[in-house]
Amino acid sequence: MKTGIRVQGIKGPRQLGMQFIYIILMMFIFALPTFAANVLTKGEVVDQLSATDIVKDRISQLINWSTGYDSSKINRLSLVPTINYISIMPKKIPPDGRTVLLLTASVSDPKGQKNISGVRADLSSIGKYPNMTLVDNGLFGDQAPDDSIFTIQSSISSRTTPGEKEIPVIAANKKGWKAVGRTLLVVGGETDLIEVYVYPQQLKADGKTELSIKSHPSKLGEEEGIKSISVDLSELKMNNDNPMAKNKDDIYSFATAISPDTSLGRKKITVRAVSLSGKITSTVFNIEVVK
């Protein structure tokens, strides 16, 4: 004969869980009349839902930042900021702690530029901090304020090892949504005669918007001496040998607007330097011609 004590009224975890859910549902049903006076609009519901971790996690499964949105899955979701492009100039930089690196990122947001809460870059791969702020205030190397092109100036630490380095950039909006992009630069000894800066990286083919190219001798260029610097703009339906003018500070510059007849898309710009000894080096940049 089996003996023991049978306790009445104690239920297992599963039964307790079901009872808890039932209680919550009943509370919600009886509370509906109270909430009726404060009905949320469709937009308010979307805003509140979009800020929840559950929705963010679900969206992160549907978005591949290397290829952009998959509209078949997310139906043109318009919550996340977009990094249009990232540019680093110059592309190859010596680890001397003095050569200026200019990092720019063009960022847009479905709700406008004012909805962007910040743009940051991880510069730990070049011996700097991992959470550096890019600015859009027309200062510290930024060309113009509030144009949605964010900028930071830096240099390569002398402790940085040579080779290719990845620079991640993160843009966030006020809802907490983030976009991530990456660019590469090469850390190494100086092999180019000049350092080149091209602005903007997206250029309107309207015959008015100015393309600005500036250059100055690198350490090697200073040692060799610069004879001439020219720009090849043949892919923009212009001359392939445009001389750059030199000012008293040893800065070379060239500016032009491109014809409205120029086809849209990515175009190559080549800046060529010739030293007094006859050495020639070329620096290639890509810009995007847009409407």
- Is 81 strand, coil or helix? coil
At residue 164, the pLDDT reads: 86
Low-confidence ranges of the chain (pLDDT < 50): 1-13, 16, 31, 34-36, 67, 69-76
Q: What are the boundaries of each domain within the chain?
A: 42-74, 80-189, 192-291
Exposed/middle/buried for residue 59 (C-beta within 10 Å: 0-12, 13-18, 19+): middle
At residue 232, the pLDDT reads: 94
Q: How far apart are CA 215 and CA 98, in angstroms?
A: 16
Q: How far apart are CA 81 and CA 96, in angstroms?
A: 35
Q: Please tell me what DSSP assigns to residue 78.
A: -
At residue 1, the pLDDT reads: 42
Q: How far apart are CA 64 and CA 259, in angstroms?
A: 36
Query: For tokens 């078949």, what's the residue?
Result: 72
5 residue type, one letter: I
Query: What are the pLDDT digits (tens) for 38-96?
Result: 555 655 655 655 566 655 555 555 555 554 544 444 433 568 899 988 988 888 888 88
At residue 59, the pLDDT reads: 57
At residue 92, the pLDDT reads: 81
Q: Which of 41, 74, 63 is nearest to 177 (CA)?
A: 63
Q: What is the pTM of this model?
A: 0.50
* Distances 108 to 40, 95, 147 between C-alpha atoms, Å: 29, 32, 10
* Distances 89 to 72, 100, 133, 285 between C-alpha atoms, Å: 37, 9, 17, 9
Exposed/middle/buried for residue 228 (C-beta within 10 Å: 0-12, 13-18, 19+): middle
Q: Cα-flanking dihedrals φ and ψ of residue 58, to 5°?
A: -65, -40
Q: What topology is assigned to 80-189 in CATH?
A: Immunoglobulin-like (2.60.40)
Q: How far apart are CA 78 and CA 7, in angstroms?
A: 57
Q: Which of 135, 156, 157 is nearest to 146 (CA)?
A: 135
At residue 29, the pLDDT reads: 54
CATH superfamily of 192-291: Immunoglobulins (2.60.40.10)
At residue 115, the pLDDT reads: 93
**Are domains 80-189 and 192-291 of this chain identical in fold?**
yes
Cis peptide leading into 90, omega within 30 of 0? yes
* Residue 169: HSE in the Cβ half-sphere, 13 Å Cα cutoff: 28
Q: Which of 158, 91, 83 is nearest to 118 (CA)?
A: 83
At residue 136, the pLDDT reads: 95
Continuous H helices in the chain:
13-36, 42-50, 53-62, 71-74, 219-224
- For the chain, what's the residue count? 291
